[in-house]
Amino acid sequence: MVIGSERRAQRRNRRSIDDLDAAGRARLQRLVQSSRLVVMPTSEVISLVESRFAPGTVAVAVRCTDGLGLDQTIAVSEVLAARGYEVTPHLTARQTRTSRYLDEILRRLARRAIDRVFVIRGRAGQPGSFPTTRQLLEAIRQHPDAPTVVGIAGYPEGFGDLDREHLAGLLLDLASHATYVSTAVSLSPERVLRWIAEMRVRGLEVPIEVGLPGVVRMDELRQQAAGTPYSRRRGTEWYDPTQFVAQLAGLPAVDRLDIDGLRLETSNQIEPTAVWRQEIYDLANQARTGRS
């Protein structure tokens, strides 16, 4: 039963890629090749990354979790960078307790030549010196060891009870201190593209990377996506991102909206996401060169 459903899914995936024209397949390869894997800073994640990817073959972003904290995020990022990986640590404003602590973090990152970060407000901890994302961004920008590439979050699916107009205005304000936007996880490429097009019209100019799940267990996805439409999805054990990326690659608007790549949330399911990434890239290449 499971094998049969897997085969049907594989056939659907191949058809969705075969149906792309040459431009769509080239777009798909570019998106997959430039994808960034988001990992949790657990004790075993370094060996998981090393077991599947040689240094220089994949970009990695390291989350900051409520339980493990910012110190663990920085420590894991330092080790991965020292071993040759391109790393983007997440920095959360509410866990950056003091200006002195921020100074220590930025100096540590600079020593490891980590020049790309992703800044969010975060939920855990009492507000210290940086209760808001904006305050942390401003402090980073003024620091002598400020990284060159600084990202902020965008929310195509909305965020809590905040009104869309308010969210859009907040993002445009924060974007003056950032060099890219990374969208929160979505399962709808059409909704993501509509949101990006709307934000471009409003004046957002920095590159945008699109967030979606990698090959992850649906129970983990539901936990992470509590309160969103896709947190209620049922009927499958694993989420397969193929349909999302194939639909995205099939939309010519991707070329003019300055979409910088994909951001794949792995929940540390690195092996299945790595296998999927290679298979999709190879399928796009075979479809382009092997069809009459």
pLDDT tens digits along 48-68: 999 999 999 999 999 999 889
**183, 116, 108: which is closest to 150 by C-alpha?**
116
Neighbouring-strand partners of residue 83: none
Residue 125 confidence class, pLDDT cut points 50, 70, 90: low
User: Half-sphere exposure of residue 127, counting CA atoms within 13 Å on the CB side?
Assistant: 7
Q: Tokens 């540390």 — which residue?
A: 268
For the cut 50, the answer to whether the pLDDT of residue 2 exceeds it is no
- Predicted pLDDT at 129: 80
Q: Where are the domains of the chain?
A: 21-290
8 A C-beta contact, residue 170 and residue 163: no
What are 192's two structure tokens? 């993501």
For the cut 60, the answer to whether the pLDDT of residue 225 exceeds it is no
Question: Mean of the pLDDT values across residues 224-252?
Answer: 73
For the cut 60, the answer to whether the pLDDT of residue 181 exceeds it is yes
Q: How far apart are CA 68 and CA 186, in angstroms?
A: 25
For the cut 60, the answer to whether the pLDDT of residue 31 exceeds it is yes
For the cut 70, the answer to whether the pLDDT of residue 233 exceeds it is no
Q: How far apart are CA 266 and CA 214, in angstroms?
A: 5
* Alpha-carbon separation of residue 218 from 14, 42, 47, 88, 235 (angstroms): 22, 20, 24, 25, 9
User: Half-sphere exposure of residue 214, counting CA atoms within 13 Å on the CB side?
Assistant: 23
For the cut 70, the answer to whether the pLDDT of residue 236 exceeds it is no
8 A C-beta contact, residue 112 and residue 93: no
What is the pTM assigned to this prediction?
A: 0.89
Domain topology for 21-290? TIM Barrel (3.20.20)
- Predicted pLDDT at 292: 40
